């Protein structure tokens, strides 16, 4: 009889570990590709797009899907020169629904040229959130233009 209790405990422990692994959080890396040699305001969309973005989809309509608990990382790269820098500065919630956004704050600040956020608030499945991504460009060591903005979307999908 003494062996059955450890076996039962081991079975329950394995079940718990397996079931939590089914709903594991994901990490979504969103890479903004920028022509750092030519970008200028106000025609930002002519000089940048997201990695994997379909040609017929505009930057404003580009939508990523993520779940509650997932981490989203925004990074930038130059398509002009490996020495140029695209520095993601901030992600700002642009919601028209009011209330809190899905990251628990209206603005996420960049660190080391990227922005990281974890989806913390529950939402209805399929709900889309609009964000303004702010970035700076350094071409040949010199900052080009001011701060550039584009506003993609995030859709929160079911658990």
In this predicted model, which residue has the larger pLDDT, 154 or 18? Answer: 154
What pLDDT does 20 receive? 44
Q: Residue 75 CA to chain centroid, in angstroms?
A: 9
pLDDT tens for 67-92 read 989 999 999 999 999 999 999 999 99
Q: Report whether 72 contacts 28 (CB < 8 A).
A: yes
pTM value surpassing 0.85:
no
The pLDDT score that the predictor gives to residue 18 is 44
Q: Mean pLDDT of all residues in the chain? A: 84
pLDDT digits (tens, 9 = 90+) for 92-135: 988 665 445 788 888 899 999 999 999 987 566 678 888 999 99
pLDDT number for residue 159: 61
Contact 39, 145 (CB under 8 A): yes
Burial of 16 (C-beta count, 10 Å sphere; 0-12/13-18/19+): exposed
Per-residue confidence band for 11, with pLDDT thresholds at 50, 70 and 90? low
Query: Is the alpha carbon torsion for 53, 59, 132, 109 positive or negative?
Result: positive
> What fold, for 26-156?
Immunoglobulin-like (2.60.40)
Lowest pLDDT segment from 4-8, 61-65, 79-83? 4-8
């Amino acid at each position: 009889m003494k062996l059955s209790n450890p076996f039962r405990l081991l079975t329950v422990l394995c079940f718990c570990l397996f079931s939590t692994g089914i709903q594991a959080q994901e990490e979504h890396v969103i890479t903004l590709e920028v022509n750092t040699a030519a970008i200028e305001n106000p025609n930002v969309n002519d000089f940048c797009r997201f990695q994997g973005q379909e040609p017929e989809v505009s930057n404003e309509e580009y939508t990523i899907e993520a779940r509650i608990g997932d981490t989203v990382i925004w990074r930038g790269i130059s398509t002009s020169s490996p020495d140029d820098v695209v520095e993601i500065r901030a992600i700002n919630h642009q919601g028209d629904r009011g209330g809190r956004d899905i990251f628990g704050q209206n603005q996420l600040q960049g660190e080391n040229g990227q922005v990281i956020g974890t989806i913390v608030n529950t939402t209805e499945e399929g709900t889309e959130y609009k964000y303004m991504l702010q970035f700076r460009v350094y071409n040949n060591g010199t900052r080009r233009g001011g701060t550039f903005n584009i506003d993609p979307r995030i859709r929160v999908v079911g658990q």
